[in-house]
Amino acid sequence: MTTQHIDKLAGVPCETHAQSEGRPLRIGDGFEAQSYQHAEFSGLMDPLIMVDHFTMTKPTFGTHAHAGLSAVTVLFEDSEGAFHNRDSLGNDLDLAPGDLYWFKAARGALHNEETRPGARTHALQVFVNLGAEHRHDEPSAFHVAAADIPQLTGDRATARLVLGEAGGFRGAVAPDNPLTLLDIDIKAGGQFTHNGRKDHYAWIIAIKGASRVTWNTGSANLRPGKAIAFADATNISFSSEEGAHVVLFRGQPLRQAFVQRGPYAMGTAEELDAVEAAYRSGRLGSLD
């Protein structure tokens, strides 16, 4: 949805955790976001490339292309009204509060998301990297309605299992590479613990309220806007004295080099040039 730079990432991180408060982003009078980029997290955001925590009240971006990645939209339950989603695969639907839409652009496809009149969309827009063997796949997409998302319970805490497996439950399955997504609400004095695989990286963003996250080798205080990433964790616990809303992504790192240019990510700049040429010539389809 956003970002207009070229960046590259490869290899194994030399640090075990990293944190950032991102950067503010405003477009017109209908879009505000805090944007987080993989380069800010010493490789520990892998397989995520970018996350925008945004509020949209007016159509902002228009029809645009994606390629070499999946563009994932996660609506929070406090969104109001409908978020109209269309793509060149023929999908045309309204996302409701709490829904997820996974758009695997792969070799290239067109996308458009905009608020319906009077709506206020509070959400995350996430760019998920694709392994080199999947960057030229056929595009695909799926929608998960809020009513179909399992809910886990902790001590005065609940978590929506938007993707992946946790606590003996299974949510929607991310294509190609394992990814767990937990949307966690902690009441005052509450606690929630997630147990997962040590070889999966964790990336956490604090949405609302003050909380504390603790994992096998460390801990950190979280406040709204702060994001943290770390490796080598099995148990991850959250607690809050006043109540908080946090989101946890936990995924298998790809550890593959890629080059990003705005809404595209490919292995080389030449591949990016080819995608842009395909877009200009109309070979990525249309929304008509």
Does the annotation place 53 within a ligand binding site? Answer: no
The residue among 230, 190, 185 whose CA lies nearest residue 208 is 185
The alpha helices in the chain, defined as continuous H runs, are: 269-280
Does the annotation place 64 within a ligand binding site? Answer: yes
Does the annotation place 194 within a ligand binding site? Answer: no
The encoded tokens of residue 73 equal 């939209």
Contacts of 129 (CB under 8 A, 6+ apart): 46, 47, 48, 49, 69, 254, 256, 258, 265
The residue among 64, 101, 63, 106 whose CA lies nearest residue 79 is 101
Does the annotation place 242 within a ligand binding site? Answer: no
Whole-number Å distance between alpha carbons of 108 and 67: 4
Q: What does the buried/exposed string (b/e) look like for 238-265 if buried means 16 or more CB atoms within 10 Å of the residue's CB?
A: bbbeebbbbbbbbbbbbebebbbbbbbb
Residues belonging to the binding site for Fe cation are 64, 66, 111, 113
Binding residues: 64, 66, 111, 113
